[in-house]
Amino acid sequence: MSASQSMARAARPMLGRVREVPPEARKLAQERSKRPLLCVVDVSVSFDGFRALTDLTLVLGDGELRCVIGPNGAGKTTLMDVITGKTVPDRGSVFFFEEQRDLISCSEHEIARRGIGRKFQRPTVFPGHTVRENLELAIKTNKGVWHSLFGHPSGPERQRIAEILETVGLQAHQTTAAGTLSHGQKQWLEIGMLLAQDPKVLLVDEPVAGMTHQEVEHTAQLLTSLAGKHTVVVVEHDMDFVRSIAQETVTVLHEGKILCEGSMDAVKSDPRVIEVYLGE
Protein backbone atom coordinates (compact mmCIF):
# COMPACT_ATOMS: atom_id res chain seq x y z
CA MET A 1 0.00 0.00 0.00
CA SER A 2 1.35 3.44 -0.94
CA ALA A 3 1.79 6.28 1.50
CA SER A 4 -1.19 8.14 0.04
CA GLN A 5 -3.31 4.98 0.28
CA SER A 6 -2.40 4.41 3.92
CA MET A 7 -3.12 8.02 4.71
CA ALA A 8 -6.49 7.81 2.98
CA ARG A 9 -7.32 4.63 4.86
CA ALA A 10 -6.24 6.09 8.18
CA ALA A 11 -8.31 9.18 7.46
CA ARG A 12 -11.45 7.21 6.74
CA PRO A 13 -12.81 6.97 10.30
CA MET A 14 -12.62 10.76 10.48
CA LEU A 15 -14.67 11.03 7.30
CA GLY A 16 -17.52 9.44 9.34
CA ARG A 17 -19.92 12.05 8.06
CA VAL A 18 -22.36 10.70 5.48
CA ARG A 19 -22.14 12.57 2.20
CA GLU A 20 -25.40 12.69 0.40
CA VAL A 21 -25.59 12.69 -3.40
CA PRO A 22 -24.77 16.27 -4.48
CA PRO A 23 -27.01 17.92 -7.12
CA GLU A 24 -24.26 17.85 -9.82
CA ALA A 25 -23.80 14.08 -9.43
CA ARG A 26 -27.56 13.54 -9.40
CA LYS A 27 -27.90 15.53 -12.63
CA LEU A 28 -25.08 13.63 -14.31
CA ALA A 29 -26.51 10.27 -13.23
CA GLN A 30 -29.96 11.15 -14.52
CA GLU A 31 -28.56 12.28 -17.85
CA ARG A 32 -26.87 8.93 -18.34
CA SER A 33 -29.44 6.52 -16.94
CA LYS A 34 -33.19 6.50 -16.43
CA ARG A 35 -32.77 4.76 -13.09
CA PRO A 36 -29.25 5.35 -11.78
CA LEU A 37 -28.16 3.04 -8.97
CA LEU A 38 -24.46 3.63 -8.54
CA CYS A 39 -22.42 6.59 -9.72
CA VAL A 40 -18.63 6.71 -9.61
CA VAL A 41 -17.63 10.39 -9.85
CA ASP A 42 -14.17 11.71 -10.73
CA VAL A 43 -12.28 8.89 -9.06
CA SER A 44 -8.48 8.90 -9.14
CA VAL A 45 -6.25 6.24 -7.61
CA SER A 46 -2.49 6.26 -7.60
CA PHE A 47 -0.01 3.71 -6.31
CA ASP A 48 3.28 5.38 -5.40
CA GLY A 49 2.82 8.00 -8.08
CA PHE A 50 1.53 5.59 -10.73
CA ARG A 51 -2.00 6.54 -11.83
CA ALA A 52 -4.16 3.39 -11.89
CA LEU A 53 -7.36 5.42 -12.38
CA THR A 54 -7.64 9.04 -13.50
CA ASP A 55 -10.80 11.16 -13.09
CA LEU A 56 -13.03 8.19 -13.78
CA THR A 57 -16.79 8.78 -13.95
CA LEU A 58 -19.21 5.92 -14.52
CA VAL A 59 -22.97 5.60 -14.00
CA LEU A 60 -24.66 2.22 -13.50
CA GLY A 61 -28.39 1.86 -14.01
CA ASP A 62 -30.61 -0.20 -11.72
CA GLY A 63 -30.83 -3.80 -12.99
CA GLU A 64 -28.28 -3.23 -15.74
CA LEU A 65 -25.72 -5.80 -16.91
CA ARG A 66 -22.61 -3.68 -17.49
CA CYS A 67 -19.49 -5.11 -19.05
CA VAL A 68 -16.21 -3.38 -18.33
CA ILE A 69 -13.44 -4.45 -20.68
CA GLY A 70 -9.91 -3.35 -21.34
CA PRO A 71 -6.38 -4.66 -21.75
CA ASN A 72 -4.37 -5.91 -18.78
CA GLY A 73 -3.42 -3.11 -16.42
CA ALA A 74 -6.28 -0.85 -17.62
CA GLY A 75 -7.56 -0.38 -14.06
CA LYS A 76 -10.57 -2.74 -14.12
CA THR A 77 -9.82 -4.51 -10.84
CA THR A 78 -8.87 -1.20 -9.21
CA LEU A 79 -12.30 0.16 -10.17
CA MET A 80 -13.93 -2.81 -8.39
CA ASP A 81 -11.64 -2.28 -5.40
CA VAL A 82 -12.85 1.32 -5.15
CA ILE A 83 -16.55 0.41 -5.40
CA THR A 84 -16.19 -2.30 -2.73
CA GLY A 85 -14.11 -0.14 -0.38
CA LYS A 86 -10.94 -2.22 -0.66
CA THR A 87 -9.05 0.74 -2.09
CA VAL A 88 -9.63 4.29 -0.95
CA PRO A 89 -9.26 6.66 -3.93
CA ASP A 90 -7.12 9.79 -3.71
CA ARG A 91 -10.11 11.73 -4.97
CA GLY A 92 -13.70 11.14 -5.98
CA SER A 93 -16.90 9.59 -4.74
CA VAL A 94 -19.07 6.52 -5.18
CA PHE A 95 -22.70 7.47 -4.74
CA PHE A 96 -25.15 4.68 -4.03
CA PHE A 97 -28.59 5.91 -5.00
CA GLU A 98 -30.32 3.07 -3.14
CA GLU A 99 -29.31 4.83 0.07
CA GLN A 100 -28.73 8.33 -1.29
CA ARG A 101 -25.20 8.43 0.07
CA ASP A 102 -21.49 8.32 -0.68
CA LEU A 103 -19.89 4.93 0.04
CA ILE A 104 -16.40 6.40 0.30
CA SER A 105 -16.82 6.88 4.05
CA CYS A 106 -17.85 3.20 4.54
CA SER A 107 -15.63 0.24 5.39
CA GLU A 108 -15.35 -2.76 3.06
CA HIS A 109 -17.54 -4.79 5.39
CA GLU A 110 -20.20 -2.11 5.59
CA ILE A 111 -20.33 -1.74 1.80
CA ALA A 112 -20.87 -5.51 1.48
CA ARG A 113 -23.60 -5.38 4.12
CA ARG A 114 -25.31 -2.56 2.25
CA GLY A 115 -25.82 -4.83 -0.74
CA ILE A 116 -22.72 -4.64 -2.92
CA GLY A 117 -21.39 -8.18 -3.37
CA ARG A 118 -18.18 -9.13 -5.05
CA LYS A 119 -17.02 -12.39 -6.52
CA PHE A 120 -13.29 -12.87 -6.49
CA GLN A 121 -11.45 -14.90 -9.08
CA ARG A 122 -10.37 -17.62 -6.66
CA PRO A 123 -13.44 -19.36 -5.23
CA THR A 124 -13.74 -19.13 -1.46
CA VAL A 125 -16.16 -22.00 -0.86
CA PHE A 126 -15.85 -24.35 2.13
CA PRO A 127 -14.43 -27.45 0.41
CA GLY A 128 -15.37 -30.01 3.10
CA HIS A 129 -19.02 -28.94 3.15
CA THR A 130 -21.67 -29.89 0.63
CA VAL A 131 -23.03 -27.41 -1.89
CA ARG A 132 -26.24 -27.10 0.15
CA GLU A 133 -24.33 -26.54 3.41
CA ASN A 134 -22.26 -23.82 1.76
CA LEU A 135 -25.46 -22.04 0.72
CA GLU A 136 -26.97 -22.52 4.20
CA LEU A 137 -23.89 -20.94 5.75
CA ALA A 138 -24.00 -18.03 3.30
CA ILE A 139 -27.70 -17.39 3.93
CA LYS A 140 -27.19 -17.42 7.68
CA THR A 141 -24.07 -15.26 7.76
CA ASN A 142 -26.35 -12.26 8.00
CA LYS A 143 -27.92 -13.59 11.16
CA GLY A 144 -24.98 -13.87 13.55
CA VAL A 145 -22.70 -16.64 14.74
CA TRP A 146 -25.21 -18.42 17.01
CA HIS A 147 -27.70 -18.87 14.19
CA SER A 148 -25.05 -19.95 11.68
CA LEU A 149 -23.68 -22.62 14.00
CA PHE A 150 -26.81 -24.03 15.57
CA GLY A 151 -29.86 -22.78 13.72
CA HIS A 152 -31.68 -25.00 11.23
CA PRO A 153 -32.75 -23.25 8.04
CA SER A 154 -36.27 -21.88 8.27
CA GLY A 155 -38.94 -22.60 5.63
CA PRO A 156 -38.27 -19.37 3.70
CA GLU A 157 -34.51 -20.03 3.87
CA ARG A 158 -34.97 -23.54 2.45
CA GLN A 159 -37.14 -22.08 -0.28
CA ARG A 160 -34.47 -19.48 -1.10
CA ILE A 161 -31.75 -22.16 -1.21
CA ALA A 162 -33.87 -24.19 -3.66
CA GLU A 163 -34.26 -21.11 -5.87
CA ILE A 164 -30.53 -20.38 -5.79
CA LEU A 165 -29.63 -24.00 -6.61
CA GLU A 166 -31.90 -23.75 -9.62
CA THR A 167 -30.56 -20.35 -10.70
CA VAL A 168 -26.93 -21.45 -10.63
CA GLY A 169 -27.74 -24.93 -12.02
CA LEU A 170 -26.40 -27.01 -9.13
CA GLN A 171 -29.60 -28.86 -8.06
CA ALA A 172 -28.10 -32.22 -8.99
CA HIS A 173 -25.00 -31.48 -6.88
CA GLN A 174 -26.49 -30.27 -3.62
CA THR A 175 -25.04 -33.15 -1.59
CA THR A 176 -21.66 -33.03 -3.35
CA ALA A 177 -18.70 -31.79 -1.29
CA ALA A 178 -17.78 -28.37 -2.67
CA GLY A 179 -14.10 -29.35 -2.83
CA THR A 180 -14.85 -32.03 -5.45
CA LEU A 181 -16.76 -29.73 -7.83
CA SER A 182 -15.23 -28.73 -11.15
CA HIS A 183 -13.63 -25.29 -11.42
CA GLY A 184 -16.72 -23.89 -13.17
CA GLN A 185 -19.14 -25.42 -10.65
CA LYS A 186 -17.18 -23.87 -7.78
CA GLN A 187 -17.51 -20.48 -9.44
CA TRP A 188 -21.28 -20.94 -9.79
CA LEU A 189 -21.54 -22.02 -6.16
CA GLU A 190 -19.73 -18.88 -5.15
CA ILE A 191 -22.12 -16.78 -7.23
CA GLY A 192 -24.92 -18.66 -5.41
CA MET A 193 -23.36 -17.81 -2.05
CA LEU A 194 -23.32 -14.15 -3.04
CA LEU A 195 -26.96 -14.36 -4.12
CA ALA A 196 -27.79 -15.77 -0.67
CA GLN A 197 -26.85 -12.36 0.73
CA ASP A 198 -29.41 -10.80 -1.62
CA PRO A 199 -27.10 -8.14 -3.09
CA LYS A 200 -28.38 -5.16 -5.03
CA VAL A 201 -25.12 -4.97 -7.02
CA LEU A 202 -22.98 -7.96 -8.03
CA LEU A 203 -19.42 -7.39 -9.20
CA VAL A 204 -17.62 -10.24 -10.95
CA ASP A 205 -13.99 -10.04 -12.00
CA GLU A 206 -12.92 -12.22 -14.93
CA PRO A 207 -15.56 -14.89 -14.24
CA VAL A 208 -14.64 -17.29 -17.05
CA ALA A 209 -10.88 -17.48 -16.59
CA GLY A 210 -9.85 -21.16 -16.71
CA MET A 211 -13.30 -22.47 -17.65
CA THR A 212 -14.13 -25.02 -20.34
CA HIS A 213 -16.16 -23.91 -23.34
CA GLN A 214 -19.37 -25.41 -21.87
CA GLU A 215 -18.75 -23.79 -18.50
CA VAL A 216 -18.27 -20.44 -20.23
CA GLU A 217 -21.65 -20.82 -21.95
CA HIS A 218 -23.39 -21.71 -18.70
CA THR A 219 -21.77 -18.72 -16.97
CA ALA A 220 -22.94 -16.41 -19.75
CA GLN A 221 -26.54 -17.63 -19.29
CA LEU A 222 -26.30 -17.35 -15.52
CA LEU A 223 -24.99 -13.77 -15.53
CA THR A 224 -27.56 -12.58 -18.07
CA SER A 225 -30.34 -14.21 -16.02
CA LEU A 226 -29.27 -12.24 -12.93
CA ALA A 227 -29.59 -8.84 -14.59
CA GLY A 228 -32.88 -7.11 -13.90
CA LYS A 229 -33.13 -8.49 -10.38
CA HIS A 230 -29.59 -7.32 -9.66
CA THR A 231 -27.24 -4.79 -11.19
CA VAL A 232 -24.39 -6.91 -12.52
CA VAL A 233 -20.94 -5.59 -13.38
CA VAL A 234 -18.77 -8.02 -15.30
CA VAL A 235 -15.12 -7.12 -15.65
CA GLU A 236 -13.51 -9.12 -18.39
CA HIS A 237 -10.48 -9.12 -20.58
CA ASP A 238 -11.92 -11.65 -23.03
CA MET A 239 -13.75 -9.77 -25.79
CA ASP A 240 -15.55 -12.89 -27.11
CA PHE A 241 -17.15 -13.60 -23.77
CA VAL A 242 -18.28 -9.99 -23.44
CA ARG A 243 -19.79 -10.17 -26.91
CA SER A 244 -21.92 -13.13 -25.79
CA ILE A 245 -23.39 -11.36 -22.75
CA ALA A 246 -23.36 -7.62 -23.50
CA GLN A 247 -26.93 -6.33 -23.55
CA GLU A 248 -26.66 -2.61 -23.12
CA THR A 249 -23.61 -0.50 -22.41
CA VAL A 250 -20.04 -1.72 -22.60
CA THR A 251 -17.35 0.42 -20.96
CA VAL A 252 -13.80 0.19 -22.31
CA LEU A 253 -11.04 1.15 -19.88
CA HIS A 254 -7.51 1.93 -20.96
CA GLU A 255 -4.68 3.33 -18.85
CA GLY A 256 -7.04 4.22 -16.02
CA LYS A 257 -9.47 6.20 -18.16
CA ILE A 258 -12.64 5.47 -20.10
CA LEU A 259 -11.60 5.03 -23.72
CA CYS A 260 -15.16 4.67 -24.95
CA GLU A 261 -18.59 3.55 -23.87
CA GLY A 262 -21.54 2.30 -25.92
CA SER A 263 -23.17 -0.76 -27.43
CA MET A 264 -20.97 -3.79 -28.11
CA ASP A 265 -21.22 -3.13 -31.86
CA ALA A 266 -20.17 0.49 -31.49
CA VAL A 267 -17.31 -0.36 -29.14
CA LYS A 268 -15.85 -3.22 -31.16
CA SER A 269 -15.68 -1.16 -34.33
CA ASP A 270 -14.14 1.85 -32.59
CA PRO A 271 -10.61 2.28 -34.02
CA ARG A 272 -9.23 3.27 -30.59
CA VAL A 273 -10.47 -0.01 -29.10
CA ILE A 274 -9.08 -2.06 -31.99
CA GLU A 275 -5.75 -0.32 -31.55
CA VAL A 276 -5.37 -0.98 -27.81
CA TYR A 277 -6.42 -4.61 -28.18
CA LEU A 278 -4.11 -5.20 -31.13
CA GLY A 279 -1.29 -3.42 -29.31
CA GLU A 280 -1.27 -6.01 -26.53
Measured at CB, which residue is nearest to Mg ion?
Answer: 77
CA angle 191, 197, 203 (to 5 degrees): 50
Nearer to ligand ADP, 69 or 103 (CB): 69
Contact residue for ligand ADP among 70, 89, 184, 207 (CB under 6 A): 70
Number of neighbouring beta carbons within 10 Å of residue 145:
9
Nearer to ligand ADP, 4 or 148 (CB): 4
Instruction: Pick one of ligand ADP, Mg ion, none as the site partner of residue 124 (Cβ within 5 to 8 A by kind).
Output: none
SS3 (DSSP) at 51:
strand
- Within positions 168 to 187, which residues make up the interface with ligand ADP, using CB under 6 A? none
Q: How far does CA 85 lie from the centroid of its chain?
A: 12
Contact residue for ligand ADP among 3, 13, 31, 72 (CB under 6 A): 72
Whole-number Cα distances in Å, 249 to 58, 65, 113, 131, 265: 11, 8, 27, 34, 10
Site track for ligand ADP across 29-48, x = CB under 6 A: ------------------x-
Cβ–Cβ < 8 Å for 204, 233: yes
Nearer to ligand ADP, 125 or 202 (CB): 202
Q: Which of 11, 69, 8 is nearest to 43 (CA)?
A: 8
If one asks whether residue 120 binds ligand ADP (CB under 6 A), the answer comes out as no
Q: How far does CA 188 lie from the centroid of its chain?
A: 14
Beta strand ranges found along the chain (DSSP E): 36-47, 50-61, 65-69, 91-96, 101-102, 116-119, 201-205, 231-236, 250-254, 257-262
Instruction: Pick one of Mg ion, ligand ADP, none as the site partner of residue 73 (Cβ within 5 to 8 A by kind).
Output: ligand ADP
Name the residues that contact Mg ion, by CB under 5 A: 76-77
If one asks whether residue 49 binds ligand ADP (CB under 6 A), the answer comes out as no
Site track for ligand ADP across 75-114, x = CB under 6 A: xxxx------------------------------------
If one asks whether residue 119 binds ligand ADP (CB under 6 A), the answer comes out as no
Counting Cβ atoms within 10 Å, is residue 72 exposed (0-12), middle (13-18) or buried (19+)? exposed
Candidates 28-36, 69-77, 93-101, 162-170; binding stretch for ligand ADP (CB under 6 A): 69-77
Residues binding ligand ADP (CB under 6 A): 47, 50, 52, 70, 72-78
